[in-house]
Each structure stands twice: as C-alpha cells, then as structure tokens.
C-alpha cells in the first residue's frame, strides 16, 4: 500500500513560541494534522487502523474511487462557545484527509469499516485469487 500524506508543514519559530506561551497570542496559522495510521497485512486481508479520538461515527467519510481509499472528517475544530480563555491550547479535533492507494488484489465490494473508542478500523479483504494456497505435502511414490 502506498500512503499519500496530505499535511500543511509548519515549523514554529522561537519568537512565535515565546509569544504564544507567555502572552496567549496565537501568531501561528492553524496547523492541519493527520491522525496516526497502522496498516497490517494478513493472509486474507489488509487491516487499517486510524486513531481519531473525540470523533463520532457520523463524522467520518470513507470513500473508494478507482484505486484510492480516502478517509476524511469535517469538523468545527472544537469551537468553544463560552468565555473560556486558554493560556495554552494544544489539542483540537480538526478536519483531516488521508488517502491510500489500494492494490488490485483487494475485494473492493467487501471493504468494512468500524469506529469504536477513538479507533477507526477498516478491513480490506483480498480477492480469493490473491490469497496464497496453503503449503501441501506431495506424496512420493
């Protein structure tokens, strides 16, 4: 599987860090972070796990177009409605978009997704033709 990472790189400078930390002034543009992903391959399927705490099942969109699987969310970045004034705010639940190239050996009609306890799990089953046959012993006569 090939991973296409879509992020906006930004490296804070010492100046920005000083003002943000000490005076609560956010000089930096909002960063766009992608969640961590684990991909494992088993004999019969690929398993993709994506960490996204603070979301709900309805927040996700999982789409397959041609040979690209795209996982995305759209959220309000955890906008606080009351008069809370943060001294430092390091987490939010911003939108993200992750795309993965799907090999031809995947049974695209049988892909399943599940979201539970902050973990989105996607099972990408392999086509029967792509699953290797088990080793068999040939009798010698």
What pLDDT is stored for residue 90 in this prediction?
65
Mean pLDDT of the chain: 77
CATH number corresponding to 33-78+90-129: 2.60.40.790
Residue 121: phi and psi, rounded to 5, are: -110, 130
* Reported pTM: 0.65
Average pLDDT over residues 76-100: 70
Residue 74 confidence class, pLDDT cut points 50, 70, 90: confident
Beta bridge partners of 78: none
Position 40 pLDDT exceeds 70: yes
| Strand duo 45-51 + 37-41: pairing | antiparallel
| Contact (Cβ atoms closer than 8 angstroms) between residue 61 and residue 71 | yes
Q: How far apart are CA 39 and CA 1, in angstroms?
A: 9
Domain ranges of the chain: 33-78+90-129
Q: How far apart are CA 62 and CA 46, in angstroms?
A: 16
Give the number of residues written for the chain. 141
């Amino acid at each position: 599987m090939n991973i296409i990472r879509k992020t906006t790189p930004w490296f804070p400078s010492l100046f920005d860090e000083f003002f943000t930390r000490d005076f609560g002034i956010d000089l930096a543009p909002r960063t766009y972070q992608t969640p961590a992903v684990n991909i494992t391959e088993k004999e019969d399927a690929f398993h993709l796990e994506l960490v996204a705490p603070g979301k709900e099942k309805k927040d996700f969109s999982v789409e397959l177009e041609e040979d690209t699987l795209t996982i995305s969310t759209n959220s309000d970045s955890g906008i606080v409605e009351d008069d809370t004034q943060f001294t430092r705010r390091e987490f939010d639940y911003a939108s993200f978009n992750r795309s993965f190239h799907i090999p031809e050996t995947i049974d695209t009609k049988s892909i399943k997704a599940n979201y539970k306890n902050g973990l989105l799990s996607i099972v990408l089953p392999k086509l029967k033709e792509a699953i290797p046959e088990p080793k068999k012993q040939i009798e010698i006569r």
